Structure formats: structure tokens, C-alpha cells
């Protein structure tokens, strides 16, 4: 079976070309049928490829010297879409030369370029940014939207729920992922009117490929009893960053506690396998790769400061979504849902 290849924006991100190429090579060792279109400065890409002989037969280079800056305004970046590594990687998806694009560059610019080039798929009003987070349960939880849309109406939230559940089915293998709307309480009268209306629509809907289970509060996101958490981009940003910051805060406290006495240091050394497990579980590189769902094509955002392992994870997310054809899954799910006032305009 011939799979569409993955376009890599080799120039975006803080870690440079080598990290992106090392990451792609690492991912290919696990998904060895994948091909790559490496977009960026040819000389630097070739230098990085020298370390990965297996990659040369699997990659094509698209030379380009321009890069979208980390602080560049999306409105400016989209005018440079045809000359920047990010713009050309997305464009390759549009032209069918790649099935997915991966970039570690400026999120706002990547979102703007992707929307403009790929357009939202039929039945979807707005794309959403989705990411996986670790839980105490067996599976990761999917959170969306994480910043593509500051304000969302009920219709957007319902579509996000359907898109998130489709993504979860691919990642978890569950037939009906448990899906909830993020809210400030679990009673029906809690939260904004948009959240309440979205809940009402999902409760009344038939043909959903999920178990809709109402609201979830932010302290329950990572308990493992919920597979998809749906919110607008503002609340999602607050929740995700509070989670990331607190995980770092606790591990910083722990490091401080463990270095505060000789006895603790000895304890730390003896129990290193345990703390390594913790570190592994919380390392953002192991959960790297946020996906823009709802576009005609797959675009994955790798964290700007991700290392090669993080990039490999983002590339694998793209590979997984391509193998399981996320775009068609979402299209089919949208067609099968029956809800008043929701169906595609």
C-alpha cells in the first residue's frame, strides 16, 4: 500500500534543521513505509541527512531559504506563504504532493496558512487545534480547541466534539469515546449559554460515534474517565497551560525537595527508576504534536522547543492520522449525526 508522504517544515522551531531531520528519521524507523518531503535550505538538510543513510531514499528535498519568524504576525506570514518553508509544506498538502504537513514554527501563522490553503472540510465551520494529554487511566485524553478559536458558539463546540471523538477512536481504539464539555460545574445550569446549548444538542443527537457524558470540571481532565474534553480556544488555553505549568511546578518542587538533604539525595538515587517513570510520563516530548482538525488535509504542530524525540512523536501523530484517514472519518461521522439545528449548512 502506498501512503501519501509527509511534508516537514525543516526550518520552523527553535531547535533548527537538524532536530527536525533527526526527528523525522526517528519516526521513520517505526513507520518505515513513510516518505518525506523536506522543505527548507537544501545544504543544511543534506548535512543533517548525512547522519541518516536510511532517509535519503525516502525523502525528497524542496529547497527554500525563507522562514516564518516566531513572532511574525499571521497576516504577514500568509503573504509569504509561497516563499517560506512553512507555507510550502502546507502548500504541498494542498497540491496533493503530501498527505500531511508537520511544522514546529509559529502556531498562529501555521493556523492561518493551513486554513487559507486547505479550507475547512464540508460540514465544519471552523477547524480546532487538538492535543493528547496523559491521564491516570490507560488512554490519553484529547483536548480541543486549544487556541484556534478564541470564541466558539454551540455549533462549533458540537463539531469539535465529533472531530475529537473521531481522533480519539484512532488513538485509543475505543468505539465510543467518552466525550465531555469543559465547564465550571456539572449541573445542567452551569456555564455559558453556548456550552449549555451544545450539551443539549449532543444529548438529543442520534448517530453519534461517542458517549456524550455531559460536563467535566478542569480538575478531572486527567483522571482517565474521559477520552475527549471539548472547549473554546480561550478556556482550552487556560486549562492546558495551567496543567503544563503545574506539572512543571510539582516536579520542580520535587527536585528541590530531593536535593535538600543528603538523606534525600540517597533516597533519590535509590528510587531513580521511579522518578524516571514520572519524568517519562510528564515529558511534553512524549505528547508532542497538536493537530488542526477539520481541514481538507492533516497539519500537525510540533512544539517549538521539542527535541528530536518530540519531533518524532509529532511526525508519528501525522502518520497515524494519515494511515487511519482522519479526514474521511470525520466527514463520515458528520454525515451520520442527526441533530436538530446542527447538520451541515
Nearer to a second copy, 29 or 248 (CB): 248
Phi then psi for 121, rounded to 5 degrees?
A: -75, 160
Q: How far is CA 125 from the centre of its chain?
A: 19
Compute the least distance from the CB of residue 273 to a second copy, in Å: 6
Compute the least distance from the CB of residue 156 to a second copy, in Å: 17
What separation in angstroms does the CA of 97 have from each of 35, 60, 257? Answer: 11, 11, 52
Nearer to a second copy, 50 or 184 (CB): 184
Nearer to a second copy, 263 or 345 (CB): 263
Compute the least distance from the CB of residue 125 to a second copy, in Å: 21
The closest alpha carbon to 179, from 206, 147, 141, belongs to 141
Pairing of strands 6-9, 36-40: parallel
Compute the least distance from the CB of residue 151 to a second copy, in Å: 8
- Other C-beta atoms lying within 10 Å of the C-beta of residue 147: 21
Compute the least distance from the CB of residue 290 to a second copy, in Å: 15
- C-alpha grid cell, residue 41: 535550505
Compute the least distance from the CB of residue 107 to a second copy, in Å: 10
Q: What is the CA radius of gyration of the chain?
A: 21
Nearer to a second copy, 87 or 147 (CB): 147
Q: b/e per residue, 294-316, with b = 16+ CB within 10 A?
A: bbbbbbbbbbbebbbbbbbbbbb
Nearer to a second copy, 78 or 278 (CB): 278
Those residues with Cβ within 8 angstroms of residue 124's Cβ, 6 or more apart along the chain or in another chain: 159, 163, 294, 330, 334
Compute the least distance from the CB of residue 145 to a second copy, in Å: 12
Compute the least distance from the CB of residue 195 to a second copy, in Å: 10
Binding site for a second copy (CB under 8 A): 135-136, 147, 150, 182, 184, 191-192, 217-223, 233-235, 237-254, 257-258, 260-261, 263-264, 266-275, 277-278, 281-282
Nearer to a second copy, 247 or 308 (CB): 247
Compute the least distance from the CB of residue 146 to a second copy, in Å: 10
Nearer to a second copy, 24 or 226 (CB): 226
Nearer to a second copy, 240 or 318 (CB): 240
Nearer to a second copy, 275 or 296 (CB): 275
Amino acid at each position: 500500500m502506498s501512503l501519501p508522504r509527509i511534508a516537514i517544515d525543516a526550518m520552523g522551531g527553535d531547535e533548527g534543521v537538524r532536530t527536525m531531520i533527526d526527528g523525522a528519521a526517528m519516526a521513520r524507523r517505526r513507520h518505515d513505509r513513510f516518505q518525506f518531503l523536506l522543505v527548507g535550505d537544501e545544504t543544511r538538510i543534506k548535512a543533517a541527512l548525512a547522519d541518516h543513510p536510511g532517509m535519503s531514499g525516502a525523502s525528497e528535498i524542496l529547497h527554500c531559504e525563507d522562514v516564518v519568524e516566531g513572532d511574525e504576525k499571521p497576516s504577514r506570514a500568509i503573504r509569504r506563504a509561497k516563499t517560506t518553508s512553512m507555507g510550502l509544506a502546507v502548500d504541498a498538502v494542498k497540491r496533493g504532493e503530501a498527505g500531511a504537513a508537520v511544522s514546529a514554527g509559529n502556531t498562529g501563522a501555521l493556523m492561518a496558512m493551513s486554513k487559507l490553503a486547505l479550507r475547512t472540510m464540508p460540514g465544519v465551520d471552523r477547524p480546532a487545534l487538538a492535543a493528547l494529554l496523559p491521564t491516570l487511566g490507560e488512554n490519553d485524553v484529547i483536548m480541543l480547541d486549544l487556541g484556534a478559536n478564541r470564541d466558539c458558539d454551540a455549533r462549533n463546540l458540537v463539531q469539535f466534539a465529533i472531530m475529537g471523538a473521531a481522533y480519539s477512536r484512532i488513538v485509543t481504539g475505543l468505539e465510543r469515546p467518552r466525550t465531555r464539555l469543559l465547564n465550571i460545574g456539572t449541573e445542567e445550569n452551569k456555564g455559558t449559554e453556548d456550552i449549555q446549548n451544545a450539551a443539549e444538542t449532543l444529548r438529543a443527537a442520534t448517530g453519534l460515534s461517542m458517549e456524550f457524558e455531559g460536563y467535566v470540571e478542569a480538575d478531572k481532565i486527567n483522571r482517565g474517565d474521559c477520552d475527549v474534553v471539548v472547549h473554546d480556544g480561550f478556556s482550552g488555553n487556560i486549562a492546558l497551560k495551567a496543567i503544563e505549568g503545574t506539572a512543571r511546578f510539582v516536579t520542580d518542587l520535587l527536585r528541590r525537595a530531593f536535593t535538600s538533604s543528603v538523606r534525600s539525595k540517597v533516597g533519590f538515587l535509590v528510587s531513580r527508576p521511579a522518578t524516571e517513570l514520572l519524568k517519562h510520563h510528564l515529558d511534553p516530548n512524549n505528547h508532542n504534536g497538536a493537530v488542526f482538525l477539520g481541514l481538507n488535509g492533516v497539519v500537525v504542530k510540533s512544539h517549538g522547543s521539542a527535541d528530536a524525540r518530540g519531533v518524532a512523536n509529532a511526525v508519528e501523530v501525522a502518520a497515524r492520522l494519515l494511515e487511519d484517514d482522519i479526514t474521511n472519518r470525520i466527514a463520515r461521522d458528520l454525515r451520520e449525526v442527526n441533530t436538530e439545528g446542527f447538520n451541515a449548512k
